Amino acid sequence: MNSTLDVLITRAENRTATQEEQLHQLARQTGGRPLSVANLAEAVSALRNCDQPIVLLSERFDRSSALEMIRLLRQCNRRVRIILLADTDNVSFLRQARSAGIFYHALEPRSEEDLAELKLALHSAVEQCHEQQQAEQREHRLWRHLATALG
């Protein structure tokens, strides 16, 4: 199995080119392959081709709310890990986002502290993906061994 994971980075209207590049660097530093997506069609296409994608989802993406996007992205790929980048402290919104299936909520990175937090979240998501891949490989080997033994 490929050990490099795809990290989809949704474009945000208020994100600068420097901030976008910082997200790409974070993805690479944590073992991911960054892929920028500008709209829902690009995101869906990318998700179909990824085994265990990680998505850095902006609060507003392709003129839709993050809550709508979380549900759509999870329907496209149930294994997706979504890190919501939202500058909000609206408890109701964050509860709904967690209920919809986000992996983590972080602030849109604007400081070194924000970048460090996001790096930890990305690292955790990548590790969880690798652990799941290893568990699936062990299970596959076990079934192959059983099939051979019972053959």
Contacts of 5 (CB under 8 A, 6+ apart): 31, 32, 33, 50, 52, 53, 54, 126, 129, 130
Whole-model pTM: value is 0.85
Which whole-number Å values give the CA distances from 32 to 19, 29, 61, 142, 146, in the listed order? 17, 7, 21, 29, 34
- Could you tell me if 46 and 77 are in contact, meaning their C-beta atoms sit under 8 angstroms apart? no
One pLDDT digit (tens) per residue for the chain, 151 residues: 445 789 999 998 888 899 999 999 999 999 899 999 999 999 999 998 888 899 999 998 988 889 999 999 999 998 999 999 999 889 999 999 999 999 999 999 999 999 999 999 999 999 998 888 888 888 888 888 778 888 7
Q: What is the pLDDT of residue 1?
A: 40
Give the C-alpha separation, 91 to 144, whole Å.
47
pLDDT at residue number 124: 94
pLDDT of residue 3: 56
pLDDT of residue 42: 94
Q: Which CATH architecture has domain 5-150?
A: 3-Layer(aba) Sandwich (3.40)
**Alpha-carbon span 147 to 149, nearest angstrom:** 6
Other CB atoms within a 10 A radius of the CB of residue 79 amount to 13
